[in-house]
Amino acid sequence: TDYGPFFSITHSLYAAAGYLVLCTNPRGSIGYGREFANAITNAYPGQDHDDLMTMVDALSARPYADAKNLFIGGGSGGGVLTLWAIGKEPDKFRGAVALRPVVDWTDQVTTSDGTSFFMKHWMGATPWDKPDLYFQRSPFSLAGQIKTPTLLITGENDYRTPISQTEQMFGALKLRGVEAEMIRLPGAGHGMGRPSQWLQSVLAPIDWFNQRKAK
């Protein structure tokens, strides 16, 4: 991966808990040049999801991987792709954790702290001009297909991906009878708040996955 020259305690804690950690560079990430990084402009989520699932399939086919116990999680843009993945492939993962996700792009471009940026570079149109586009690219459009037990974690003072979106997905999953829990971090922003709250955002997903492992 190309996430910078630093030690990742998050990934190390997952590994210490006994999980194979797959953290990759799908299109839209850095490390492969400008064209690759800009490939998701006005096309997200999309082929980046396909990249990730191809990588999951390749790793899960290896003899040391437990293909019966696949879990998925991510924060912010990773939260988007987590919800997208369990909507597109509802039988693939035993558990999912979406931290501070975008759930509804109409909500995102009208209530977040980067409205004009998201509208221009993520969607390329206003929600009133192309409402179908906004819905089709929103994880909320897949809520009716999700079956995966899902944990949602967001700070109550997150202005980048407002908690109203987390509440929206949580409500939809509960209405459908899908196993779902929501952790609200009081006073926390997009960076997940105080060190203790940040640690909770790492340990709670591990606990969520541990409880859903197949024997």
Question: Among all residues, which ones are annotated catalytic?
Answer: 76, 190
The per-residue b/e assignment along 33-68, b for 16 or more CB within 10 angstroms, e otherwise, is eeeeeebbeeebbeebbebbbeebeebbeeeeeeee
Q: How far is CA 205 from CA 53, 68, 96, 97, 211, in A?
A: 20, 18, 8, 6, 10
In one letter, which amino acid is 88? K
**How many angstroms separate the CA atoms of 159 and 162, rounded?**
5
What Rg, from alpha-carbon coordinates, does the chain have?
17
